[in-house]
């Protein structure tokens, strides 16, 4: 499943269970991007600037890893890592992500 299709399925599921969900807007400045992340309670992201900003802002984070070594990212007890043995981010399934979202929003 492509990342775009996976994202859409997760967004639709979260909206169905009454969570406000916003896909990442195309922010024009780093300050706007930081403010947008700060407005979120939980972030689902890949290994990106957004991940590191979210951790710095003490947000709950679910990270989808591809070929990046997930062991090199310290979570500060604020997140869940998902990485397949194949190290291919496209091998991460909808069900795996939803399971981790349920875990983190029920903490």
Residue of higher predicted confidence among 41 and 53 = 53
- Kindly tell me if the per-residue pLDDT of 107 is higher than 90: no
Residues of the chain with pLDDT > 70: what percent? 85
pLDDT tens per residue across span 59-71:
999 999 999 999 9
Query: How far is the C-alpha of 84 from the C-alpha of 90, rounded, in Å?
Result: 9
Q: What is the pLDDT of residue 70?
A: 93
Q: For the whole model, what pTM was predicted? A: 0.79
For 39-78, give the DSSP string: T-SEEEEESSHHHHHHHHTT-EEEEEESSS-GGGS--TTS
Residue of higher predicted confidence among 70 and 21 = 70
Least Cα distance to 98 among 4, 2, 12 occurs for: 12
- Judged on CB neighbours under 10 Å (0-12, 13-18, 19+), 29 is exposed
């Amino acid at each position: 499943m492509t990342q775009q299709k996976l994202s859409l399925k997760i967004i639709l599921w979260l909206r169905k269970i009454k969570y406000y969900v916003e896909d990442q807007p195309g922010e024009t400045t780093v300050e706007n991007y930081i403010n947008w992340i700060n407005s979120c309670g939980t972030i689902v992201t890949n290994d990106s600037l957004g991940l590191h900003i979210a951790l710095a802002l003490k947000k709950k984070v679910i990270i989808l890893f591809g070929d990046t070594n997930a062991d090199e990212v310290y979570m500060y007890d604020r997140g869940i890592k998902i990485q397949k043995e194949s190290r291919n981010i496209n091998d991460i399934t909808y069900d795996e992500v939803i399971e981790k979202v349920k875990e983190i929003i029920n903490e």
